[in-house]
Chains A and B, each alone.
Chain A
Amino acid sequence: MRISTSTLIILFFISCSNTNDPYLLLNKIRQVSDFATTEVTIKKYILANREKKILFVKFADAKFAAEAHATLKFGIDLKRITQKNLTIEGKTAIVSVPQIKLVSFSMPPELTTEIPALSDRVKFLNTFKFRDIEEAYLETSNQIGESIEYLNIQEKVVNNTEVALTGLLKPFEIDQVIVNLEDNEIDISKYF
């Protein structure tokens, strides 16, 4: 009994100290240090059908089509640059970056526009409602997440990061920054 009580107490404290709890992120300003060096704008069509059957009678499909735009910003987390992965040779800094990170993702609602020529939302007894549109957006977002690994953006981000870091470190007498990427996979865990 004593063991189980102390286990419970430990588990309670572990759960309290879990800073990844999404609910704890609300309503406070978090300090981050993400350096965005590459901005990618993408376009994606949303094509969705709503099928409806009553008994064995199939009604005409309601359709929703829209064009969505999203902005993705890639970069590195400056916190992850430590003395362990940094070498200074004269005025050149060589930085080993563990991973490229998706630091910002935005799919602005005002840039998602319906395509009237392809949409037919209201049919007899079958309407593509606003609630259904939300489902379509969620799926579109998932598809964008899945497509990131195929963007082949790593080299571009590394080059851009070198230029941006050189600019940032000029006051500290660094004339050139070379970035070595340790892992080619992009960290998209924050958004997808």
Chain B
Amino acid sequence: MKQINKTIILIFSLLALLYLDNKFNIIGNITRHLFVKVRTEIRSTPTIIKNVLQTSQLISSEYCTETYCTHSDEFIFDIDHYIEQRKSDLESAFNQVKNEIIKLKDNGVSIERLHTGFVQKSSLEDLRQYHNVITLIDLCGGNEGEKNKCFKNEILNADWRGFQGNKVKKHFKQMSEDLEDIQENNKADIIYIGRGCVQAGIDFDAISKNLQVTQINESTLKITGMSSTIISAHINPWFIPGKIKGFEFWDSHKEKRLSYKDVPVTKSKCVHNIEQEAIGNGIKLKAIESGLYAISQLSNQMDSKIDSIIVEIPYYNYVNEMILADSIISTAEINNLDGNYYNLSKTIDNGTQILIQDNRSNAMMEHVGQLIEFCQRNVDCKTRTLVELIKVKKKIAS
């Protein structure tokens, strides 16, 4: 009887050890390698053709890259970066409030009635900046007396560095803690590395209604209604067949909390990332250039006399897409707006001249206007950026 008990205890101990090692890797998963055999069998299944369609798509540009993606964005959210941006916004609001106070004071408005007068009269150009100002005023104090005192002593007679007292520090500390809490609670996650390609080109099926090709003279063609598009953005199981995986499962936190449905959702984010990256690098404009190059090469083979192609496209729409693909308008991008940065005339290898024109007369103004609108709506766009964009618009207008 004792012998049986001993055997049962031994088996249970062994199973417990296996379970714990399997779960927590307590002895380097040694038990797993020694005693555990796992085999995954993937069955052969038939391939079913669902549809065969005729298309006419010229894939002229391809961009391959690598990215990573997670199920919950909070997990990769950079708190420090976010706090720095909010501080920068608040500094800008501080300067604006200070200027308004000086203006109102010069007009004879008493400092005691400043905060109500200021909020009403403020000439703020966008809602986001308005919210920053309100946050700043709230930080000044709860009641009218405290606010007036703050306006007089801490804003009017001090600079931003002097203003950043305990209240501001406390405000951002609280914000940081709240964000950390959110991150902690969302740690159930999966991380994938994704490697794939984005293909862009000219989809003749889609543009056929608007596409017009006119022969201006013996050697010049004019094309209107042409546009390029993303034909495919894909991360497949294999990136390099048999060598490099397209999707690589990297890590997971609390995998059991996730369902299978979370896998495609996460992977789609990787696909979206590579698509945005390709757009940000100008794949659509490149696709038009390369597409025209391919067509002109072909025409050369036909002994065509065409040596010049003028193509009208919504050029600045593509430029805006490029700039906004990463949702950030950088200083370099703003500097490029100001001046004749975009060279629209190209000569390709076989001597054919390709001239790309925007098909709208007021394109540049519209283009900057759209960027300003984006910046006003987007919380991540710095106030400094908005001010710079407004300057560029004024410069173009003048």
Q: What is A's interface to B at a CB cutoff of 8 Å?
A: 22, 25-55, 69, 71, 73, 75, 78-79, 81-83, 86, 88, 93, 103-114, 119, 121, 125, 129-145, 147, 151, 153, 156, 160, 163-164, 167-174, 191-192
Does B248 count as interface, using CB distance less than 8 angstroms? yes
Q: What is B's interface to A at a CB cutoff of 8 Å?
A: 15, 18-19, 22, 35-66, 190, 195, 199, 204, 208, 213, 215, 221, 231-232, 234-241, 243-245, 247-249, 252, 255, 260-261, 263-265, 267-268, 271, 278, 281-283, 286, 290, 293-295, 297-299, 301-304, 306
Known pairs A37-B56, A42-B48; list 14 more (Cβ under 8 Å): A25-B64, A33-B59, A34-B58, A40-B52, A43-B50, A48-B41, A50-B38, A53-B37, A54-B35, A107-B236, A109-B271, A140-B42, A160-B54, A172-B298
Q: Give CA–CA (A50, B37) in the complex, Å.
A: 10
Partner of B54, one of A29, A140, A163: A163
Q: Which residue in chain B gives the minimum CB-CB distance to A66?
A: B260
Partner of A134, one of B39, B46, B65, B248: B248
A110 touches B268 (CB 8 A): yes
Q: What are the residues of chain B within 8 A of A75 when measuring CB–CB?
A: 57
A29 touches B38 (CB 8 A): no
Q: Give CA–CA (A192, B51) in the complex, Å.
A: 21
Q: Give CA–CA (A172, B309) in the complex, Å.
A: 13
Q: Give CA–CA (A17, B63) in the complex, Å.
A: 20
Q: What are the residues of chain A within 8 A of B282 when measuring CB–CB?
A: 29
Q: What are the residues of chain B within 8 A of A55 when measuring CB–CB?
A: 35
Q: What are the residues of chain A within 8 A of B252 when measuring CB–CB?
A: 130
Q: What are the residues of chain A within 8 A of B236 when measuring CB–CB?
A: 105-107, 141, 191
Could you pull out 17 A-B pairs where Cβ atoms are within 8 angstroms?
A: A30-B63, A35-B56, A35-B59, A37-B56, A40-B53, A41-B50, A50-B38, A51-B37, A79-B294, A106-B236, A110-B268, A130-B190, A134-B247, A134-B249, A138-B237, A147-B46, A171-B213
A36 touches B61 (CB 8 A): no
- Shortest CB-to-CB span from A139 to chain B, Å, is 4
B65 touches A103 (CB 8 A): no
- Shortest CB-to-CB span from A188 to chain B, Å, is 9
Q: Give CA–CA (A129, B204) in the complex, Å.
A: 43
Q: Give CA–CA (A164, B203) in the complex, Å.
A: 11
Knowing A107-B236, A167-B204, A168-B295, say if A130 contacts B255 (CB, 8 Å): yes
Q: Give CA–CA (A137, B235) in the complex, Å.
A: 12
Knowing A32-B60, A191-B241, say if A143 contacts B47 (CB, 8 Å): yes
Knowing A107-B234, A171-B221, say if A51 contacts B57 (CB, 8 Å): no
Q: What are the residues of chain A within 8 A of B238 when measuring CB–CB?
A: 138, 141-142, 191-192
B18 touches A54 (CB 8 A): yes
A107 touches B237 (CB 8 A): yes
- Shortest CB-to-CB span from B70 to chain A, Å, is 13
Q: What are the residues of chain A within 8 A of B45 when measuring CB–CB?
A: 44-47, 143
A48 touches B57 (CB 8 A): no
A50 touches B40 (CB 8 A): yes
Q: What are the residues of chain A within 8 A of B62 when measuring CB–CB?
A: 29-30, 32
